[in-house]
Chain A
Amino acid sequence: MKRFLTALLAVALLLGLAACAGEVKEIRKTAAEEKSAPAVTVGKEGSVDGYVFRAGDFSIAVDADMAPVLAALGEARSYYESVSCAFNGLDKLYTYDHFQVTSYPAPDGDRVQTVWLMDDTVATPEGLRVGAPASQVDALYGSSFEAVGAERIYSKGGMKLKVIVQEDKVTSITYQSVIADEND
């Protein structure tokens, strides 16, 4: 009898252990968790709704697939690559005659990260060149920008156009992907 009761007690204890089956888990996904989701959500055509650079007849949108860009632009004047700190793969820098294109490694192939205008022989499609007066920047892109020091950041279509104005002149124009930027 004692043994039977002891066995029954043991079974009851074990049942108790198994009783944790039905609890409900509530998930509260925070912004930090969501940052670990796949980074590239832009299609291979890139941020076409943003500011897009034109090299001749070819449009280069940031976040676009690099393969068609490289095919259209032909051999770069110089090429530099390094193992990326920000991405899982190589950072690549292609220097063409008057602009530079950098790429980042995305899961489905390299994408355009930045286009930097090296001199004033090329212009943005809106007509802005290096060396232009600050007033032309206002006229072409408006007054809705974020100012960081001498840099004006125009956000549009999931990308940023960064224009540095120093001593009333444009000294740098960069089309920038926001792929590695902090969420606003």
Chain B
Amino acid sequence: MKKPQLDLRPGKWKPKKGKKVKKHRRLRLPVLLSGCVLLLAAAGLITFFAVKNSRVYTRVEVEAGDLTLVPEDFSKNGAPVSFDPSFSPDSVDFHTPGTYSVKLKSGVFHYTASLTVKDTVPPSGRAVAGMLSRGERSDPSALVADVKDETRVTVSFETEPDTASCGVRDVTVLLTDLGGNVTKLPATLTVIPLYTVLVREAGGQLTPADFILPDCSVAELFPVGDDGSPAQVDLAALTESAGDHPLRFSADGLICDCVLRVKDTTPPVMVLRDVTSAVGAEVEAALFVESVQDAGSVSFTVSFTAPLDQTGTQTVTIRGVDDSGNAAVGKATLTLVPDEEPPAILGAENIVSYVGKAVSYLSGVWAEDALDPKPSLTVDSGAVDLQKEGVYPVTYVATDAAGNRSEKQITLTLLTETVSEADVMAKAKEIVSSIITPDMTPRDKVEAIYRWMKKNVAYRDGATIVDWQQAAYQGLTTHRGDCSVFQMTSRALLTAAGIENRLIDTVPYYNVHYWNLVNIGEGWYHFDATSFYDKQDFCYVDSATLAERSVHYRRSHTFDPARFSYVS
């Protein structure tokens, strides 16, 4: 029997029942499995690197400046990053352009990132006019001032100026930083036929012609004032006084700034006198000097030949030294006599002052003694507590050199300075009128008050002042206090400026902190002008910003949102 032909037309052929095309499936399955495994492995690797690269920037560029390298600079997507222990951040010099290797860690990954410090900002500076004597070599750095750049700057001339002849030169000074940025500054250099610094002995004769350089000739030379017009200068008088004397001349119409440097090599001439003093008293050298002549100032010392705690007469040696180091020596007689009379305390009266204010005990009070020209006068105010109201005893004690002592007691009455709200608001309005202008928006006003507080009120410890007027007045007048003073001072200023404001304080934990809330029509925002050591600003910020600080700074601004639910 002939086998039927296979009809391979679509739909016509079907495998016989029971027969399965296993061979192809057997072939496909391992291939598929292998492909899956490879795919998974590839995906795994790629994911690994994708994850690794999603955490850290491996190339970072930064402009040179006063910066501190922190690992967060390399963080991508907020991933936690730290320096590898083998890396020292100090190895990066932010003032020297270049590429630095930085080793980092993030999670289980390690990185070597490159940090490029670049300087693309040209240096800045200001040209200043220079002057030098003919023939001198000019230093370009003398023609610039206030040079600023984040990397080292070299100063040079574009073209070396000619100083062989006198006159005014226009020069160009180049400021070049390590980044290759160049700033050109046009400057003026005046070459003069005079000495810029002329040195002379004190007391000598001097004329303007003495300033002319040996190989120069000047037809017309006279002193001038700052405006360039002729001025009378007594050169002879100047030579009497040691030191540098700036002078200005006109030399054939060229204005020349010179310095007369007067040296003093002559010792002082002293006229001495004899002194009588109390036994044990301090005897100063100056007491023996009737008069002294010298080009400069003179200081005196005295040498005794016998102790000062015994009566008698002795010859003393007085040495006078001027400020140029020239010395002169003379002799005088010192007579010491006994002193049994105590000094008198004069002018002491009861004092009334206010809590927290410094007290002047010695104003108008002095001690006098017959023999001791300078009896000591001290004040015993040990019982006084300047922070509390009350009546306190204060004792003046005068003692002379012989040990004679006298006392006088007074009372110091401390009152609490009452400050009315009107006083506070008057002071606040005075300050507000100086910092706020009519064209400012409410937001500008808030900012201006904040900046004034930050700049002018200093944080200083002290007991919390409960009375708001007192706290505000202290902040407005003495410009210092703790956070309660900052809060109340801000309140006064904001109110004076017409800004709606309220008070807020923390839920106590380590501390209670006080600050303010302001509303300029956009809702309530926080206003905390306290000077924080990390210099953070909290001018018109929302609660989330303060919450961020609270997390890191011991709950500094933790408050109950339920009580302040209206705050943004």
Contact = CB atoms under 8 A, between A and B. Distances in A.
B39 A113 contact: no
Contact of B482 (A35, A91, A151): A91
Nearest to B483: A85
A10 B44 CA distance: 12
B385 interface: yes
B360 A130 contact: yes
A172 interface: yes
A169 B362 CA distance: 13
B47 A14 contact: yes
Interface stretch (B131-139, B261-269, B460-468): B460-468
Contact of A149 (B66, B431, B460, B483): B431
B59 A22 contact: yes
Given A7-B35, A85-B556, A182 B454 contact: yes
A129 B74 CA distance: 54
Contacts of B431: 149
Contacts of B456: 148
A140 interface: no
B46 A15 contact: yes
Given A21-B58, A86-B483, A120-B363, A36 B534 contact: yes
Contacts of A23: 57, 59
Q: Which of the listed residues A25, A131, A181, A184 has the most CB atoms from chain B within 10 Å of its own CB?
A: A25
B274 interface: no
Given A84-B511, A129-B362, A18 B479 contact: no
Contacts of A27: 60-62, 73
A104 B358 contact: no
B153 to A, nearest CB: 21
A17 interface: yes
B537 interface: yes
A183 B74 contact: no
Interface string A120-164: 110000000111000000000000000011110000000000101
Contacts of B462: 80, 93
A88 interface: yes
Contacts of B299: none
Contacts of B537: 32
A182 B53 contact: no
B53 A119 contact: no
Nearest to A23: B57
A15 B554 CA distance: 45
A24 B61 CA distance: 7
Interface string A23-64: 111111100101111010000000000000000000000000
B61 A25 contact: yes
A81 to B, nearest CB: 8
Contacts of A95: 386
A179 B359 contact: no
Nearest to A176: B458
A18 B459 contact: no
B273 interface: no
Contacts of A104: 533
B566 interface: no
A32 B534 CA distance: 10
Q: Which interface residue of A3, A14, A184 has the most chain B CB atoms within 10 A?
A: A14
Nearest to A85: B483
Given A27-B62, A176-B458, A182-B535, A82 B482 contact: yes
A15 B482 CA distance: 58
Interface in B38-65: 39, 42-43, 46-47, 49-50, 53-54, 57-63, 65
Contacts of B76: 25
B379 interface: yes
A6 B534 CA distance: 56
B13 interface: no
Contacts of A183: 535
A130 B61 CA distance: 54
Q: Is the interface of B mostly helix, strand, loop or mixed?
A: loop
Nearest to B380: A97
A172 B358 contact: yes
A32 B538 CA distance: 12
A108 B537 CA distance: 24
A118 B355 CA distance: 11
A74 to B, nearest CB: 14
Given A27-B61, A119-B381, A148-B479, A173 B49 contact: no
A39 B54 contact: no
Contacts of B39: 7, 10-11
A151 B479 contact: yes
A80 B483 contact: no
B348 to A, nearest CB: 13
A88 B510 CA distance: 10
A180 B458 CA distance: 8
Contacts of B359: 118-120, 130
A82 to B, nearest CB: 6
Contact of A102 (B35, B460, B533): B460
Contacts of A118: 358-359, 386
B43 A25 contact: no
B468 to A, nearest CB: 17
A22 B60 CA distance: 10
A18 B511 contact: no
B344 to A, nearest CB: 19
Interface of A: 3-4, 7, 10-11, 14-15, 17-18, 20-29, 32, 34-37, 39, 77-78, 80-88, 91-93, 95, 97-98, 102, 104, 113-114, 116-121, 129-131, 148-151, 162, 164, 169, 171-174, 176, 179-184
12 contacts: A17-B46, A21-B49, A25-B74, A26-B61, A35-B534, A36-B534, A86-B483, A95-B386, A120-B363, A131-B360, A148-B456, A180-B535
In the A-B complex, the 4 residue pairs with the closest CB atoms: A131-B360, A91-B461, A85-B483, A83-B511
Given A24-B60, A104-B533, 6 more contacts: A17-B46, A21-B53, A80-B462, A114-B460, A176-B458, A176-B480
